[in-house]
Amino acid sequence: MRLKESTSIFNMGDTSIRVKEVVPIYKQILKTLQKHNQSNQKWNNESQASFYSSVLSDFAKVETEDGINLFGNLNRNEITGLDKRGRTLTNALVKIGFINYDRKLSQVGLNYISETEQAFDKLEELFGLTIDNLVYFRQLLKLRIYDSNSDKYFYNFRFALAFLNRYSKVPVKDFLWIVESIKPNFSEEKIKAIINNYQSVYDNNKTFEQYRDEEFANHILIPERVSEAHKMFDIEDFSDENFKKLFPNRKKRIVIKV
């Protein structure tokens, strides 16, 4: 996966639709998508809306048969924006590698929904993983986050394993902030420092906010935007145009001292 710009934040999913059980729901979405693709060759707005309607129908059957509620915030009465829902519902599947950008299932995705037998290697056998978890484990180990302007990349899942192997109890919010804020152009030494320097937070010798600013502030802020932000406050020009330009991702609330 490639970041859109140098300050973009990579995340694995989308919060517009919250699911209660990710693995079985994603598998059903793949099955619905495969069936949808057999009669829809193009992934356009019309096709996306049709796919989302099929998802609602398929999950309604599952919920009725099993007597469960699979989604936490799903509006089943929507009549507009279904194409966008169809896109966002499948974004995570692209990132995992189950489908491509055109929403065609990859060989991994096809094998996964066809219940193709998976052979564990000796190391994998030690983990005691289910078949579902094995597939995700392999895909996430391969996941690379590429820089927007170069071929530099970062293995976010491998970093997560290394970080949690050292620190057994980390607040989820802090952990996700760290993983999502690492950039593909960070050097190996910088990534090691991010892990090592968290020790002071873990030992309660430093706040997470102090650690965050020390490790990330110089890397996730664009100098030109910082200067423009200072200017905006100096002249008190708080127009909507300025805010859109300086803070393009208005859904993500991250506080950093400037």
- Per-residue pLDDT for the chain (258 aa), expressed as one digit of tens each? 788 776 677 777 665 566 667 888 899 999 999 999 999 889 999 999 999 999 988 888 877 777 777 665 555 666 778 999 899 889 999 999 999 999 999 999 999 999 877 889 998 999 999 999 999 999 999 999 999 889 999 999 999 999 999 998 999 999 999 999 999 999 999 999 999 999 999 999 999 999 999 999 877 666 666 677 778 888 877 787 777 766 665 444 443 333
Assess contact for 58 and 32: CB atoms under 8 A: yes
CA separation for the pair 48, 103 (Å, rounded): 10
User: Which residues are CB-contacts of 58 (< 8 A; sequence separation ≥ 6)?
Assistant: 28, 31, 32
Q: Is 221 exposed, middle or buried (0-12, 13-18, 19+ CB in 10 A)?
A: middle
Q: List the beta strands (DSSP E) in 93-248.
A: 145-146, 153-154
This prediction's pTM: 0.77
